[in-house]
Amino acid sequence: MIKIKITDVAQRAGVSKSTVSQYLNGRFEYMSKETKKRVKAAVDDLNYIPNPIARSLKTDKTKMIGVIVRDITGYDTSRFIRGIHDYCKTSEYNALIYNTDFDPEIEAKSLHALNQLRVEGMLIASSGKNTSIITGFIEAGMQIVQFQIEHDGNEKNIVICDYRQAAFEATEYLIKLGHKRIGFVTQDFQDIKSRRERYLGYVEAHERYNIPLDKQLTKYWDRETGFEESFMDILDPSVLPTAFFTQQLDISTELLTIFKENHISIPDDVSLLAFEEIPNAEFFQVPISVVKQESHKLGYEAAKLLIENIKSKNKAPNRITIPCTLATRDSCIEV
């Protein structure tokens, strides 16, 4: 295949290379309509495609953003990426997506790789383990917007769900159904603000309705090791919560497996409300109530904020909070 060069376009149009370059970069101010028409015809006739790498070296603009996610196959993450893509379609930017599989070392390599690829900005669901790298890039002029998870509350630009309000409303819903023993099942949240906000919403609802908080009803789950203690300890009918409020999709699915193995019926034996949508949960024999994150909107707003910051680098830091939606189904009943 013959490689068409800018000189070929210039020769076909009967203009200089500089004029073709101005046309390709949208600078038509001093170009006659006839010249513009001839250059366009030459580009179309020769099927000329500009070299984006060469153009970026001249203009310092790649029109690329980097996206770093923890699990590209995740239900909410896939919708987040779609939101990014939908906003990019309204701009001149494209996205490069890196998947870390929850590994901080892969995350660090992804940050450096995207920087070497000369992206103009990055979106990242950070592990919290590479703060020094992220801070260094920001100080060097890289535009970075974090999303989905907040660690210490010092993130400069972030788009996040209103986790605390969502957890309060979900717990309140269960309380109004008569539940006073609500199991809160979560990953460790001591060093992650966005997880801690969910717990604080759960606590706030108990305080609002004067229900004593039983800390033994808070159970912990780890991505590598599963539940911190044997769930058999709380499956005893005498101590079993009347409802469980799970905080992550993998927790919800593992708990559903335990219920099935131990012949615990939802909602007859226990109610279940999950934070994060369970794929096709509305089609289960007993549809599961969930707190939905507006993931598409989250991605759309994150991409919008990043690209606006790229175009106007002196903008003040911005924190955008997106409300969640409580979808009540058949897995929660009155007691």
Q: Strands, DSSP E only, in 56-173?
A: 64-69, 94-99, 121-124, 143-147, 158-161
Q: Cβ contacts of residue 219 below 8 Å, gap of 6+? A: 183, 184, 185, 186, 227, 228, 229, 231, 234
CB 185 within 8 A of CB 223: no
pLDDT value, residue 62: 83
Q: Tell me which CATH code domain 62-161+295-323 carries.
A: 3.40.50.2300
pLDDT per residue as tens digits for the range 98-119: 999 999 999 999 999 999 999 9
pLDDT value, residue 59: 54
Q: Tell me which CATH code domain 163-292 carries.
A: 3.40.50.2300
Q: How far apart are CA 260 and CA 284, in angstroms?
A: 13
pLDDT per residue as tens digits for the range 241-251: 999 999 999 99
CB 296 within 8 A of CB 77: no
Give pTM, 2 decimals.
0.82
pLDDT value, residue 131: 94
Domain ranges of the chain: 6-50, 62-161+295-323, 163-292
pLDDT band at residue 26 under the 50/70/90 scheme: confident
Give the tokens for residue 291.
Answer: 């707190």
pLDDT per residue as tens digits for the range 67-88: 999 999 988 999 999 999 999 9
Domains 62-161+295-323 and 163-292 share a fold: yes
Quick check: 234 pLDDT over 80? Answer: no
Report the top-level CATH class of 6-50.
Answer: mainly alpha
Query: Taking all residues of the chain, what is their mean pLDDT, rounded to a whole number?
Result: 90
pLDDT per residue as tens digits for the range 146-205: 999 999 888 889 999 999 999 999 999 999 999 999 999 999 988 899 999 999 999 999
pLDDT per residue as tens digits for the range 27-58: 777 788 888 899 888 888 888 777 655 555 45
Q: For the sheet containing 319-322, what is the strand order?
A: 94-99, 64-69, 121-124, 143-147, 158-161, 319-322
CB 81 within 8 A of CB 69: yes
Q: How far apart are CA 323 and CA 161, in angstroms?
A: 6
